[in-house]
Amino acid sequence: MDPENAPCPMGAESAPCPMGAESAPCPMGAESAPWWTRAVVYQVYPRSFQDSDGDGIGDLGGILQRLDHLADLGVDVLWLSPIYPSPQADNGYDISDYQDVDPLFGSLAQLDELIAALHRRGMKLVMDLVVNHTSDEHPWFEESRASRTSPKRDWYWWRPPRRGMAGGDPGAEPTNWQSFFSGPMWDYDEPSGEYYLHLFDRRQPDLNWENPEVRHAVYSMMRWWLDRGVDGFRMDVINMISKDVAADGHLHDGPPLHGSALGDGSASYLCGPRIHEFLQEMHREVFAGRDAALLTVGEMPGVTVEQARLFTDPGRAEVDMVFQFEHVGLDQGSSKWDLRPLRMRDLKASLGRWQAGLADVGWNSLYWDNHDQPRAVSRFGDDSPAFRRDSATCLATLLHLHRGTPYVYQGQEIGMANYPFASVDDFRDIESVNHFGTAMVAGQDPIAVLAAMRRMSRDNARTPVQWDDTEHAGFTLGTPWLPVNPDHGEWNAAAQRKDDTSVLAHYRRLIALRHENPVVALGDFAMLLPDHEHVYAFTRTLGREVLLVVCNLSRTTYRLADLLPQALDARLVLGNLPDEDAELLRPWEARVLSTWSRPDGRARGGTHARDRSAGPRLRTDGQCPAGYTTGTGRGRERPTGTRARRTPCAARHPCS
C-alpha cells in the first residue's frame, strides 16, 4: 500500500481522517464536529463531594483537592451544581444572589482558582444556572413582594385569589396546579392580598420571563460569569420559563389529578409558547460572537424528541444539547413514588427513539445518575455483592456507547449504591420529607411510602463520595451533613485506584474509547434484538467501521451464537468481565466488538482480546491497513513518510 495515497480506514471520500491516515479523508465531518460530541461531563454536587474545612459540608476547597481524580478519570467538563448564596431550602437550587459564592462553599477567589486549575488540566467548568425561579430571599423578590406598586412587582407571577373566594381559603389559589414538591403551586402573601407562583417549593418563587427587564437582568448575569472564565451553563428546568398566559393575564387550570384536589398544570408551563423565542434571544445576547468553546445544556423535563430537535438544531441557535427524563420515568406510574418494574423493551424503545430522532439534527445528554436520581446500580442494575461490580460496568458500557454526550455523576465511577435508610428521620431532601407528610395526611400506608422513598429519594444520590475506608470515607474530618454509606469500607476510590478490574478502571477505558474512536462519538446507531427481555444490543457505524455492543442486563447466561452469530467472528475492543468465553454472554456481561472491514473490502475477522486494559490489540509485525507502523506496540506509530502521530494506532482504528 502506498501510504501517501492510502484510503481512509473508515472508508470516507473527503475531509481529514481522525484515524490517522493524514492524506486520507474522514466521514461525517469528524474534524469539524463540535468538541462536546467526543466529551464526557462529570457532575459535582459540591455539598457531598469533598469537605476541606471540617464542617461536614463539601466545598470548593475540597473540589480543588480532588481535581487529580477527575484528570485521571479523563473527563472533559466539570458541571458544578449551585454554589451561589442560598438559604438552602432546596440545597442551593433556591438562589439569593446570582453573582457570588455562598460562604458555605468558599469564595469567588476560590472559584477563580478552580477555573484556572481546570483549564490548566484541559478541562472546562460548566455552572448550574437556575433562572426559572429564585429564592424568596433574593433582593429581586424582596422588592417585588414589598408593595403591589413595586417596580419589580411584575418580575414574578402575582395574581389575586380566585374570583368570589377569599385569599388563603382552600381552593382560592389562582389555578389548581400541584407543585412538584407537593401542595399547591401558589402561596398567599397576606400583606398584599395576592398569591405568588412557585412550581417547586414555596421558597422558590417563579420569575416572570414575560417581563423583558427580567430577561435582560439574567443575560447580564450570564455574561458576567462567562467573562470570569466559566465555559457554559447547564440550565435547570429551562423549558419551564415560558408560561401559557392568556391575553387578559390569567393562567389556565389543569386537568384534575387522580386522588388529589389539585390538577396538572404542565400544559401551561412545559415548553410554553415563547420558549424558543426566549432561548434564541438568550443565545444572541449572551453567547453569539464569543471566541470560546462554550457549552449550553438545557434540562427539560417532559421534552419530546420532536421538541428536542428544535431546541438543539444548530441552525436555530438555542442550546447545544437537552437533558431529558423519558428513560428515567419508565419504572414509574403516576408519580416517581409509584414504582413499576422496568421492562427492557420499554428502555430500548425509549433510548432507540431518541437515537433515531436526533440522528441527523440535534444532540442528547446520556445519563443514568444525577443529583435528582437514585443510584443506577441499585435502580437499574444489581447491587448484590455478587453482581454489583459487573452490573455497574455493564450499565456504564451500554450508556457510553450510545450517540450523545455521557454524564458521570460523582461516585458513579466507583459503583456507589443507594443508602440503607432506616426511618423517615434519616431523610433530608425536601421533596422526600414533603411527600411523606402529604402521604400521611392522605392516609397512605407508612411502610409502603417509606419503601418507595428508600428506592427513589434524591438523598440516595447525595450521600458523601466514598474516597477511602476511613471513618467518614475521606469526605470530612468533621460530622458529614448526610451520613456516609456504611459500605464505604469496601466500595471506595482508593481501593479501586489500585485495581485494574475495578469499576473506576472500566470508566477510564470507556472515556478513553470515546476520545479516541470517532465511531463512538459520531457513528450511526441501529438497535438489535428490540424485543429481547434481557439483552440490549446495537451497532454504531461510521464509514467502514462497525462496533457491535452487546449487554446482558440479567443473571441469565445466553449463548451468543443464538442471539447474534456475527459476534462470534468479531474482535473484542472492550469488555467488563475477565476470561471471556467467546460463545457465552454471562450475567451482566458487556462487550464492545469491532466488525470493521478492511479498505480492500474484505471482512475483518479476529479473535477475542484477553487484555481488556489495553483495548484493541496492536499488531507486532509492523503492518497496518492504513499504512501505520506499530513497532513495539508502544504507541508511537505513524504512516510511512509522515510525521509521528500522538495516539496509538490501536486506539484509533482496528489494525489487528
Query: What's the rounded Cα separation, in Å, for the pair 591 and 365?
Result: 22
If 0-12 CB within 10 Å is exposed, 13-18 middle and 19+ buried, where does residue 255 land? exposed
pLDDT the model gives residue 453:
87
Question: What integer is the mean pLDDT of 391-395?
Answer: 98
> What is the topology classification, in CATH, of domain 36-133+216-251+275-497?
TIM Barrel (3.20.20)
Q: Residue 195 has what DSSP assignment?
A: E
Q: Across all residues in the chain, what is the average pLDDT?
A: 87
Known catalytic residue at 236:
yes
User: According to DSSP H, which parts of 442-586 are helical?
Assistant: 446-456, 459-462, 493-497, 503-516, 518-522, 560-563
Q: 586-611 pLDDT, tens per residue?
A: 999 999 999 865 444 343 433 333 33
With 70 as the cut, is the pLDDT of residue 493 above it? yes
Query: What's the rounded Cα separation, in Å, for the pair 134 and 155?
Result: 11
Question: What integer is the mean pLDDT of 269-286?
Answer: 98
Query: What's the rounded Cα separation, in Å, for the pair 529 and 438?
Result: 43
Classify 393 as helix, strand or coil.
Answer: helix
Classify 194 as helix, strand or coil.
Answer: strand
Question: What integer is the mean pLDDT of 468-488?
Answer: 97
Q: 625-649 pLDDT, tens per residue?
A: 332 222 222 232 323 222 222 333 3
- Poorest-pLDDT segment among 18-22, 33-37, 260-264, 523-527: 18-22
Residue (of 592, 604, 601) closest to 654 by Cα position: 604
With 70 as the cut, is the pLDDT of residue 481 above it? yes
b/e for 263-274, b at 16 or more Cβ within 10 A? bbbbebbbbbee
Query: What's the rounded Cα separation, in Å, for the pair 375 and 383?
Result: 10
> Which residue out of 102, 201, 231, 299 is catalytically annotated?
299
3-state SS of 51-79?
A: CCCCCCCCCHHHHHHCHHHHHHHCCCEEE
Q: Which architecture, in CATH terms, is 523-652?
A: Sandwich (2.60)
Is the separation of the CB atoms in 56 and 476 below 8 Å?
A: yes
pLDDT the model gives residue 456:
86
What is the H or E stretch that residue 541 is in? strand 535-542
Is the separation of the CB atoms in 159 and 174 below 8 Å?
A: yes
Query: What's the rounded Cα separation, in Å, for the pair 321 and 405?
Result: 8
Q: 48-101 pLDDT, tens per residue?
A: 999 999 999 999 999 999 999 999 999 999 999 999 999 999 989 999 999 999
pLDDT the model gives residue 596:
66
Rounded alpha-carbon distances, angstroms, from residue 246 to 195, 272, 273, 275, 343: 18, 12, 11, 16, 41
With 50 as the cut, is the pLDDT of residue 467 above it? yes
pLDDT the model gives residue 7:
38
> Which residue out of 236, 331, 413, 459 is catalytically annotated?
236
What is the H or E stretch that residue 108 is in? helix 108-120
Q: Residue 533 has what DSSP assignment?
A: S
Q: 412-430 pLDDT, tens per residue?
A: 999 999 999 888 888 988 8
With 80 as the cut, is the pLDDT of residue 261 above it? yes
With 70 as the cut, is the pLDDT of residue 525 above it? yes
More confident call, 27 vs 183: 183
Classify 622 as helix, strand or coil.
Answer: coil
Map out the domains of the chain as residue ranges: 36-133+216-251+275-497, 523-652
pLDDT the model gives residue 582:
86
**Residue 289 falls in which region: left (phi positive, over 0), alpha (psi -120 to 50) or beta:** left
Is the separation of the CB atoms in 457 and 432 below 8 Å?
A: yes
pLDDT the model gives residue 597:
53
Is the separation of the CB atoms in 637 and 628 below 8 Å?
A: yes
Is the separation of the CB atoms in 421 and 433 below 8 Å?
A: no
- Poorest-pLDDT segment among 19-33, 124-138, 287-301, 353-367: 19-33
Residue (of 451, 461, 452, 454) closest to 421 by Cα position: 454
Classify 448 as helix, strand or coil.
Answer: helix
pLDDT the model gives residue 556:
98
Percentage of the chain beyond pLDDT 70 is 86
